[in-house]
Structure 1
Amino acid sequence: MDNYIIPSGTRIGHVHLKVSELSRSLQFYCDLLGFTLMATYGPDAAFISAGGYHHHIGLNTWQSKGASPPPRRSTGLFHTAILYPERKDLATAYRRLLDAGYPLTGTADHGVSEALYLDDPDQNGVELYWDRPREVWPLQPDGSIQMYTRPLNLEGLLRELL
């Protein structure tokens, strides 16, 4: 194998999720998280976006209508990570989840980012997060990133909304 390095401008364009009930997934992703429905593909697929992009998330029931979630201890997608532009945006998402009584599965301060973890209605993992500016990322003495998992100060996060 050669030492090929993927171009630095490469990015993940979208995720496409198998869901059991399209309307329930649209309620979660659009009504609760605030994504916009961009298009449907027949009665079994929808494409949603932040900011008018053709789609960040595809949802379909082509192979999964009425199906149950996969077992927790199996291979597959761990979570879809949704990056917010500002800490205040993450705080707004957290406030909406609290107001809706939607449960979190975890929270974390990773040094480089702050994150909320939850499951969508089909038990697909979802991470809502924002990145701290690169200049404040914790570094090892050799200059590599020193990520960690510490408790997230949720009260401090909500103070962003004051």
Structure 2
Amino acid sequence: MTITRRRALKLAGITSMAAALQGALSAEGMAAVRAAEPALPFAVTTPMHVGQAALRVRDLNAMVGYYSDMLGLEEISRSGDNGGTVVLGAGGAALLHLVHMPDAPFETPTSAGLFHIAYLMPDRQDLARWLVHVARRRFPVTGFADHSVSEAIYLTDPEGNGVEVYWDRPRDLWKWDGDVVTMGTNPLDVDDIVAKTDISKDDYSKAPANLRIGHIHLRVGDVAKATGFYGDLIGLSSTCGKRADAGFFSSGRYHHHVAFNIWNSAGAGPRDAKSTGLEWFSLELSNGADLAQLKEKLKQTPSTAIADGDIGIVDPWGTQVRLVGV
């Protein structure tokens, strides 16, 4: 089969760049060039960064198949009865835990919960190879966007969980005004991306070894409460100033490690712990002293649990955040 760059768009389910931009606008309110292996993207070298995430899923086999085929994640481990939990990752690093809950009701899109998990490609060529793979395999794509700091493609997995796959532009191209970084939502030049690879074949068989989760984007019921939790309590810093509809927070001047919005979930209450969707995600702290200081700070919070030196704390809507040392 011959594939042109425009056909890549068509096969991915996007009929025009206008449609691609509209999909991205509904998905996001807003560099490293690959170094010698095994260097990791800047996003996961900051003092605090996203490590892993867990989804509660109904059809375990289908979800394992989707993330294995669409993103090329490898199976790291499998445990428990009746499917239990399957851990997927890249280069031997665990990234995504799929927790089997076959009778779970589907989480509604207007409740608090996951907006998307964002998987960060090491460089633009990897993104290009993956995009040709997605087009050839006909995985539906819901949006494309140029966010100034990054280039992103959006999908939805078989159980309704949002997925972003992106790469970061070099940090010296990011524009900062004090503590606020410019993040736009503009049309993505897909032609220019896929020009970085051979579009006549699919040579993306597995995820790059240094692919990681770059950020987590959440649906919340109240921006101020989310800011208090992820900013004031956990200690991430805002990179978008004060917004009434969303927040973008990071460590070490990354554009964002955690984002949240109320676009579809304003006023949402606690999540149903028995439904599908995000069960937990981890924030990794590279400095042991920082972890110890945060642990002392969080001891007074009722929703905090500490085990084996790690901290588990539940946000105002019931999503568990695990703070772990690395």
TM norm structure 2: 0.44
In the other structure, the counterpart of 1:36 is 74
1:37·1:46 contact (CA, 8 Å) conserved in 2? yes
Q: Quote the Cα distance in structure 1 between the aligned partners of 2:116 and 2:191.
A: 25
Question: Structure 1 residue 155 and structure 2 residue 195: aligned?
Answer: no
1:34-88 Cα shifts (integer Å, max 9, x gaps):
11101001222100111111x1100011xx3154532222210110010010011
- Further displaced range: 125-134 or 24-33: 24-33
Quick one: structure 1 residues 68 and 97, their matched pair in 2 at CA, closer, same or farther if it must change by over 3 Å? farther
Q: Quote the Cα distance in structure 2 between the aligned partners of 1:143 and 1:44.
A: 43
In the other structure, the counterpart of 2:132 is 95
In the other structure, the counterpart of 1:15 is 53
- Further displaced range: 97-106 or 107-116: 97-106
Once the 2 structures are TM-superposed, how far is the Cα of residue 18 of structure 1 from its aligned partner?
0.8
2:70·2:139 contact (CA, 8 Å) conserved in 1? no
Q: Percent identity?
A: 36
Partner AA of 2:147 in structure 1: H
Say which of 46, 58, 64 aligns to 2:97. Answer: 58
Q: CA RMSD in A?
A: 1.5
In the other structure, the counterpart of 1:5 is none
SS in 2 for 1:77: strand
Partner AA of 1:88 in structure 2: Q
Once the 2 structures are TM-superposed, how far is the Cα of residue 151 of structure 1 from its aligned partner?
0.8
Matches within 5 A, 1:2-151: 8-42=46-80, 43-53=83-93, 55-61=94-100, 64-140=101-177, 142=178, 144-151=180-187
Once the 2 structures are TM-superposed, how far is the Cα of residue 31 of structure 1 from its aligned partner?
2.2
**Runs of 4+, deviation exceeding 4 Å:** none
Q: Quote the Cα distance in structure 2 between the aligned partners of 1:89 and 1:126.
A: 17
1:91-150 Cα shifts (integer Å, max 9, x gaps):
11211111111111111100000000001111100000000010011334x573111000
Structure 1 residues not aligned, in runs of 5+: 1-7
Structure 2 residues not aligned, in runs of 5+: 1-45, 199-326
Q: Quote the Cα distance in structure 2 between the aligned partners of 1:123 and 1:30.
A: 17
1:21·1:66 contact (CA, 8 Å) conserved in 2? no
TM norm structure 1: 0.87
Larger strand proportion, structure 1 or 2? 2
Q: Which protein has the larger Cα radius of gyration, Structure 1 or Structure 2?
A: 2
1:68·1:122 contact (CA, 8 Å) conserved in 2? no
